[in-house]
């Protein structure tokens, strides 16, 4: 790929962010997506970043393998698969600008929804009543589809998944463990589609090999930082990173 020195340095920073996101602030991965899209064409950027995300997923799974909530994951996977398939069709049909702006708009809408839910809960002064079984299934299906669609189109499924996990009231470790296994399995699932669409190529893999050490550095930094972050601060950082990257995608 024809990448300038400055562009390559930006990608190195993005790769560090990927590793950090996988072991600490998951929403920060959306910032890495935006940085890759700033240096490379939108479609090429999604194919280039995917193997790095999978590599980072290995660190996350190893670090938090014992903290996953498998019932939540099993509830999500069917709708996620549908979202990935629809996302693959979408990528094949639209151009870079439409794809980028669609994802940015969806992410901002999801963050707005989450903030509104929190505001409503604080205003009422009580926690919302437990959701019925039907409602839980519908919520899982909705967020599962959005996560599958957005991760296939722009590797940006972290926002939908983060908001869903926040609504489930998981601890920080439960959040990280469930998210780690979710994205590892989903990224492997969508890899053949990305190859079939021509998003992953030999050129992109060569670039990935040069960026792998930066992912390792980021993952190690994330492991140190996460021990010093409380749950409230953690949530704010995830949502803040999502908003920043989403605004950039709307440009």
pTM: 0.81
pLDDT tens digits for the chain (251 residues)?
678 899 999 999 999 999 988 887 776 777 788 788 888 887 788 899 999 999 999 988 988 888 888 888 888 899 999 999 999 999 888 887 787 787 778 778 777 776 776 777 677 665 555 556 677 788 889 889 988 998 888 787 777 787 788 777 777 788 888 988 999 999 999 999 999 988 898 999 999 999 999 999 999 998 888 777 665 776 677 677 767 767 777 77
CA 70 vs CA 63, 64, 151: distances in Å: 16, 13, 20
Q: Please give the Cα distance from 14 to 231 (Å, whole number).
A: 25
Q: Where are the domains of the chain?
A: 5-249
Q: What's the CA gap between 23 and 63, in Å, rounded? A: 7
What per-residue confidence (pLDDT) applies to 95? 82
CA dist., res. 206 & res. 48, Å (int): 9
pLDDT score, position 215? 95
């Amino acid at each position: 790929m024809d990448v300038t020195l400055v562009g390559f340095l930006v990608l190195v920073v993005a790769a560090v962010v990927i590793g950090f996101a996988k072991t600490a602030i998951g929403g920060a991965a959306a910032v890495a997506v935006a940085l890759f899209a700033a240096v490379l064409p939108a479609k090429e950027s999604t194919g280039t970043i995917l193997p790095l995300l999978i590599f980072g997923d290995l660190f996350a799974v190893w670090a938090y393998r014992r903290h996953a909530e498998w019932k939540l994951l099993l509830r999500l996977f069917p709708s996620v698969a549908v979202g990935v398939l629809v996302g693959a069709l979408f990528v094949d049909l639209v151009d870079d600008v439409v794809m980028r702006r669609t994802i940015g708009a969806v992410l901002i809408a999801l963050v707005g929804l989450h903030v509104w839910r929190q505001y409503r809960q604080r205003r009422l002064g009580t926690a919302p009543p437990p959701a019925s079984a039907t409602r839980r299934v519908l919520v899982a299906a909705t967020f599962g589809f959005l996560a599958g669609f957005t991760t296939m189109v722009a590797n940006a499924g972290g926002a939908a998944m983060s908001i869903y996990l926040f609504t489930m009231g998981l601890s920080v470790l439960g959040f990280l463990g469930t998210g780690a296994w979710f994205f590892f399995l989903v990224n492997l699932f969508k890899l053949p589609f990305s190859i079939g669409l021509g998003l992953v190529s030999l050129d992109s893999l060569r670039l990935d090999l040069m960026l792998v050490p930066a992912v390792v550095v980021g993952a190690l930094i994330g492991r140190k930082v996460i021990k010093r972050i409380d749950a409230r601060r953690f949530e704010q950082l995830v949502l803040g990173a999502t908003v920043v990257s989403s605004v950039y995608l709307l440009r």
